Every structure is written in C-alpha cells, then in structure tokens.
Amino acid sequence: MKMKKWTAAILAAALSVSMLAGCGSSSNNSNTDADAGSAADTAATSSLSGEVTVFAAKSMTDCLDELIEDYNEENPDVAITANYAGSGDLQSQIENGAPCDLFLSAAQKQMDALCDEGLMADETRSDLLTNEAVLVVPKDSDAVTSFEDLASDSVAKVAIGNPDSVPVGQYAQEILTTLGIWDAVNAKAVLGSDVRQVLAWCETGEVDAGIVYATDAAVTDSVTVVCAAPEDSCAPVIYPIALTKDGAENEAAQSFLEFLEADDAAAVFEKYGFGIAE
C-alpha cells in the first residue's frame, strides 16, 4: 500500500510539472505573438528620417497641407516644412540661395528659369497638375457677368495677381489681351502678391471682381464664380514639379516627390479640384 501511495504521489507531481510547463509555453506563445504584432506595426511605418523643405505655389496650400499629413502617417520621422507664396517670389528665393528641396510651381515660366540656371535636377521634373483660371465676384454681386464686362465704366477695381511674378496674374494678362481689353482693365487693376490675396479682396468686397484659379474659388463661400476663361484665351494652366540640385541628394525629398506623383496623392489633388497632368 505504501508503494502505491508513493507511486500516486510521484504521478501527481509529474502531472503538476507538466501543467505548469504547458502554462509557461502558452505565456511564451502570447509574448511571441505580441512581439510579432509589434514588429508588424513597425513594418507599417517607414524607417526613413530627415528634413524636407518644399516651396509650393500659394494655390497648393490646402491640399498640400493634407498630403503632408498623409505622408507623415507612414513616415513619422520625416519633418516637412512648406513655404507657400507666389511662384515668382519662390523662384527668387531659390535663386538667392534659400534652402529648398522640392519646388511646385503654378506655371512653367518659373520652373524653366530655374532649370536654365542649373538650380534644378532636370531629370526629376514632370508636369504634375492642371488648373483653370476663373472670373469671380463678391458673393451676391451681379455687377459682372463676363470677362468683357471688366472693361466697362461700371467696374471700378479688378484684382489680379502681379503679372511680373504671379502666374495667375500672367494668365489674367494673357486672357485679357486675347479679348482685347487688357489696357482698359490694367488701368483699374489692383495687383496681388499671390492668388490668395486676390481671392481675399474679392471675398471682402474691396474689388468688383478678380481672376483666380478654380481651386481657390472652391475653398470659399464668399465669392461667386462668373465663368471660366474662354477656351484658348491663355496657355494651359500647368503645375510642374521638380527637386532642386540639393533635393536630389536628399532621400526623404525623393521619397516625398514619389508620394506626390502616386495614385493616392492624385485622389487628394482631384478632391480639391486639380486635374492630373497627362
């Protein structure tokens, strides 16, 4: 009987050890699963880090801010600084040595000049977006019903971008010249430093009308779009993009350029009214 009791005791002890081992194995498996999950989370975000300075036309403000946030969700260690202004002002800043990795212009003229000066990495240049010039008036105004009305005596002030440095002003001058009313409108023109200043004057009623991009008119309820520029009255509104020579050496800047040229970014651009250049 004693032998049987000892045997039973030994078997019970062995069973307890086996159960404890099983519990330990389960715990280890849980830890392994947790580690695997953590690794998967890490893999979902990029290990890329660095700083990127983007110079972009003022009309890009809203959509590019959103795209930077989207990019940082997958690349949290890349710090992107955006400088928004008229494309001509941005061109001058780059020419004067301001740090810039990526330039997104609202017209070819400014990009062409920088490429000719050897400041851009030409091989990275592409046409990214399209837009449209439109005539706007303060909300509820009916003083202007066409571009031709801008030359009438009943219109006192017309806001346009400065044609010397602001692409939307260059497009406006081209449209009004094609229509044969540039001299009459120029005499009453109020020149803005960028398209958002032109838009702001129209919003507050400081001017009778203005010429802005369709995408800018779409971000406010305080103006009414009268009409788009007549077909063939100006060159197509194209937004080129390229890395600077310094940006071409910046891995994070290269990554952000690729992101902006991808399908996901295209969907955001289209949400804000931009077209995707062919």
What pLDDT, in 10s, does the model give residues 42-88?
445 678 999 999 999 999 999 999 999 999 999 999 999 999 999 99
In the sheet with 158-161, reading across from the earlier edge strand, the strands are 189-192, 158-161, 209-213, 133-138, 223-228
- Domains of the chain are 50-130+238-276 (3.40.190.10), 133-228 (3.40.190.10)
| Residue 195 annotated in ligand binding | yes
Q: pLDDT, tens digit, for every residue of 114-131?
A: 999 999 999 999 999 999
Judge contact between 179 and 149, C-beta under 8 A: no
Rounded mean pLDDT of the chain?
89
- Residue 246 zone, left/alpha/beta (φ > 0; ψ -120 to 50; rest): alpha
Residue type, 207: V
Read off the pLDDT of residues 146-196 as tens digits, 9 standing for 90 and up: 999 999 999 999 999 999 999 999 999 999 999 999 999 999 999 999 999
* Cα–Cα distance for residue pair 88/94, rounded to 1 Å: 10
Task: Give the pLDDT mean for 97-123.
Answer: 98
Residue 92 counted as an annotated binding residue: no
Sorted by sequence, the CB contacts under 8 Å of residue 89 that are 6+ apart come out as 165, 193, 194
- Looking at residue 47, what is its pLDDT? 87
Q: Is the pLDDT of residue 215 over 70?
A: yes
pTM of this prediction exceeds 0.85:
no
Q: What is the DSSP letter of 204?
A: H
